[in-house]
A = this chain, B = another copy of it.
Amino acid sequence: MAAGLKFVTSNEGKWFEVSRLLSSMGIECEWVRARLTEVQSDDLTEIARTSAIEAYGKFGGRVAVEDAGLFVEALRGFPGPYSSYVHRTIGIEGLLKLMSGVEDRRAHFLSAVGFADSDGNVVVFTGRADGRIADAPRGSSGFGFDPVFVPEGETRTFAEMTVDEKNLFSHRAKAFRSLTEHLLRRR
């Protein structure tokens, strides 16, 4: 196994996905269950970078954080970086109401993984999954807007897949795969 890293999140579903993914890539990972400050920005990369700097200050090096968002084309990118807040308030029901009568269902998930090494150097890796907004929620695995997101080339939503299936092509898995390559190169 490559030397381990800490992953900081307060979201258990996210930890579950990330730990499965990293262990399948031979990276040891420890869960730091904590909430970090997130800046308000339309740019996930900036949010992940500032969170990684904060995480390094609090928990020391070889630490990773992740921020993700669902960007709906017809809604000018809404809910984007504020997907978690929007999910907590208007929820899936609210998103589907906004999309009622809207023909263009295209959307994408973005993930930004911020990583700080033991010297506090920060790198950000991103991943993207394109797809569309379903007409109604389906499935119960995953979290957030997974029940209404159908990735390209699939008929199932993310919430109708097992975590390993979702990790085959999710935005988060792509970003973490880039991090893993980075870690393995530097061993």
Contacts and interface: CB of A to CB of B under 8 A. Distances in A.
Interface residues of A, number: 23
Interface string A62-90: 00000000000001111111100110111
A39 interface: yes
Given A38-B39, A39-B40, A40-B40, A77 B89 contact: yes
Number of copies: 2
Contacts of A77: 89
Contacts of A42: 85
Indicate the member of A40, A76, A77, A80 with the most B CB atoms within 10 Å. A40
Nearest to A77: B89
Nearest to A76: B89
Interface of A: 37-40, 42, 47, 75-82, 85-86, 88-90, 94, 97-98, 100
